[in-house]
A and B are shown apart, each in its own frame.
Chain A
Amino acid sequence: MRRVLLLGSPNSGKSSLFNRLTGLSQRVANYPGITVDVASGPMVNLPDTELVDFPGTYSLEPISGEEAIAVSFLNEALADDHVSHVLCVADATRLEKCLHFILQVIRECQHHQKPVTILANMSDVIRDNQLQFDPAGLAAALGVPVISVSAKESQGFEPLVECPAEGAAPATPPSRNWRETPNEILRGTAQQLAAQFSPKGDVLINSQLRLDRFFLSTALGGLAFFFIMFLFFQSIFTWSAPVMDAVEALVSGLGEAVVPLIPNRVIADFVADALFGGVGAFLVFVPQIFVLTLVIGIMEDSGYLARAALICHRPLRVFGLTGKSFIPLLSGVACAIPAIYAARSVDSPRQRMMTYLAIPLMPCSARLPVYALLIATFISNDTILFGLVGWQGLALFFIYFFGMLVALLVTGLVSKASKNKHSEQPFVLELPPYRLPTAKPLLRNAWNRCRQFVTQAGKIILAVTMVVWVLGYFPNGGADLGESWLGTLGQFVEPVFAPLGLDWRYGIAILTSFLAREVFVGTLGTIFGIEGSEENMLPLVDHIQASGLPLGSGIALLVFFAVALQCVSTVVILAREGSTRLALSMLLSYLVGAYLLSLIAFQIVSLLF
């Protein structure tokens, strides 16, 4: 199998091209440093050719983690006989930042006798703004072919599909020898070529500046930031509510239709309690995860995130973080695992460590089902201000805010305790142009995320609910939950949770949630399913309301879930990307912290109400 490498500077459209040429869906976003690992896949039109997508890098002298990965993989790949061609992607509208790396790549490829082709991407932007760009001139100056392409419109790929495989490069200019050219000379050459070939005129920069004048202005920029964040949290509840209701109705309707058809009583009970009660309770929250991923995707694609990173840089620095931590932290609102990988783009090892500390405290989407369930139990779904602001959305905003606050307190305290200024790095970030987000990749990404969530978490939830159901149903056939095996087991754990006003059913649910947080909902669904009446399956919220869970315990649960590191995968990835010591000490300290904080919360709320 032949391999073709796809290299280039950050945010030049490598992953977009990769997706077009392989039909896969690598993450694409309008922010430099999105791809943090090497990915590969066969090309659609050339199944025996494997295309390899690299993280972006500005040069062969890496500064951040993902750049180091790109460079070390490149060094390996250049020595690999299977690598038949190197494609170097440049943003044709921003040549100045791409040329130094292009020249370095051409030089290295000449050393290893690998052919290089430059893909000048974003030809649609060049055309739409009537800019001048001369690929032939650039090709002659570089001594390698330059092809104008647009990943957005799938334009200009024809020569690509033949060239890498056949070696029949399009219009190969007379080659130039860069083999012995040192970096300093390459820099000078890059500067000259940029002056000569980068599209002239200030159309692009002016249109970007108009928006930046608003989003980065001293007063309005800050307001806009808070407004966007507020909208973000509101949207999770308000936009997904109708779909959630529909899924809920569908699950219970389906349950009521299917269960009576099952002749065997034990199997019927199992289907009703574990499948529809347990797994169904969790499926209801999938629409929220869809909306969450979609909204984060819109923000990423618009180019706003880089501005948010800039705005947050100073405030985050107070807490030992940097503006570059903002993107991993925001990704952490969806899921801690990609967020931990995303932290590779934080240059300073110390600030990266602080980012690791903060990520598991970000309110991830696995917490969402738990939060949403508890909020729906205690807070009415009334709205104010003409339906724009809902109390439930507001409550979610507060509990999210609480998680973030704890994160900042932790990093602030830890960085104060271990002050070592030297390892902090200065802030340099390319600000990408604003772009109108494209619907299709965003929807596909949100859909993939949900599918992944359902299949991965679904498997765990199914397994756990099955075990919980068997333990709760036998030996007395579901007649008395307290006397079941689960009930006996529950007696052991109850003393731990009693100080929080939680009975053993919640205790068991919390214990199972250490596999993954959303399991909590499935376990509770199963337990209440066994306990509930046979005829009508109530939504889990109604069960909890009927169980008389005190407000203080509800809040204690919220606090516990906000702080504890209940996710096996996160611990594993933290150990891999950081260190085992870091992962284990975080697991332990966040557990103790979660318990103490929820105890305090329970005591305070119980005193007040």
Chain B
Amino acid sequence: MNNALADKALWDLRPGEAATVTGFGDALSVSYQGRVMEFGFQPGTRVQCLLNPGFGAPRVYGISNSVFSLDKEIAAAVFVTTRPPQEASS
């Protein structure tokens, strides 16, 4: 997992913004890191922030056709880069 590539946390993405997952922060427990990876949030995968309902509510993220809602505790510990996909995976 290459966190050096990261320029943002998932939580920082604005609705409509897409990014590539690069890694996970230590704040995320092993079991929940496993869970988000099972959802498909794996280094190298393209994700999109779909919605931010506001008031600190969990935000909505999409991977391909799947849609998940994650709260700040998790989304702030998933690192992403907004550079174009080819660059991000190199």
Q: Chain A: residues with CB nearer than 8 A to chain B? A: 58-59, 61, 63, 93-97, 100-101, 187-188, 191, 194-195, 198-199, 204-205, 208-209, 212-213, 216-218, 221, 306, 310-311, 313-314, 323, 425-431, 433
Contact = CB atoms under 8 A, between A and B. Distances in A.
Closest 5 CB pairs of A and B: A96-B40, A218-B54, A427-B71, A426-B73, A431-B67
B66 A59 contact: no
Interface in B47-64: 50-51, 53-58, 60, 62-64
B45 A93 contact: no
Contact of B51 (A187, A198, A209, A313): A209
A209 B69 contact: no
Interface in B13-69: 31-32, 34-40, 42, 44-45, 50-51, 53-58, 60, 62-69
A427 B53 CA distance: 15
Contacts of B55: 218, 314
A308 to B, nearest CB: 12
A97 B66 contact: yes
Nearest to A131: B65
Given A58-B38, A187-B42, A217 B74 contact: no
A216 B53 contact: yes
Given A94-B65, A218-B55, 19 more contacts: A58-B39, A61-B34, A63-B35, A96-B63, A100-B37, A191-B42, A194-B40, A198-B65, A205-B50, A205-B65, A209-B50, A209-B51, A209-B62, A426-B71, A427-B71, A427-B73, A428-B35, A430-B39, A430-B68
Contact of B32 (A63, A93, A194, A323): A63
Contacts of B60: 212, 216, 310, 431
B88 interface: no
B51 A191 contact: no
Contact of B40 (A97, A188, A217): A97
A148 B2 CA distance: 38
A428 B38 contact: no
Interface of B: 31-32, 34-40, 42, 44-45, 50-51, 53-58, 60, 62-71, 73-74
7 contacts: A97-B66, A208-B67, A209-B62, A216-B51, A427-B73, A430-B69, A431-B68
B57 A314 contact: yes
A58 B38 CA distance: 7
- Identify whether the interface residues of B are mostly helix, strand, loop, or mixed: mixed
Contact of A430 (B64, B67, B73, B74): B67
Given A218-B55, A310-B57, A428 B39 contact: yes
A430 B42 CA distance: 16
A270 B86 CA distance: 83
Nearest to A213: B51
A96 B71 CA distance: 20
B62 A428 contact: no
Contacts of A429: 58, 68-69
Given A59-B34, A61-B34, A191 B69 contact: no
B69 A63 contact: no
A94 B38 CA distance: 12
A376 to B, nearest CB: 39
A97 B57 contact: no
Among B38, B57, B60, B70, residue most surrounded by chain A Cβ atoms (within 10 Å): B38
Contacts of A191: 40, 42, 44-45
A331 B74 CA distance: 28
Contacts of A427: 58, 69-71, 73-74
A199 B65 contact: yes
Contacts of B68: 428-431
Nearest to B46: A195
A97 B39 contact: yes
B53 A217 contact: yes
Nearest to B70: A428
A346 to B, nearest CB: 14
Contacts of B66: 94, 96-97, 430
A61 B34 CA distance: 8
B53 A218 contact: yes
A262 B32 CA distance: 69
Given A428-B32, A428-B39, A428-B74, A212 B65 contact: no
Given A96-B66, A208-B67, A428-B69, A310 B58 contact: yes
A557 B39 CA distance: 49
A306 B60 CA distance: 12
Nearest to B27: A426
A97 B66 CA distance: 7
B27 to A, nearest CB: 10
Given A426-B73, A430-B68, A314 B56 contact: yes
Contacts of A97: 38-40, 66
A575 B66 CA distance: 38
B71 A313 contact: yes
A61 B68 CA distance: 19
B63 to A, nearest CB: 6
Contact of A311 (B45, B57, B65): B57
A425 to B, nearest CB: 8
Nearest to A208: B67
A431 B68 CA distance: 5
A433 B66 CA distance: 9
B31 A63 contact: yes
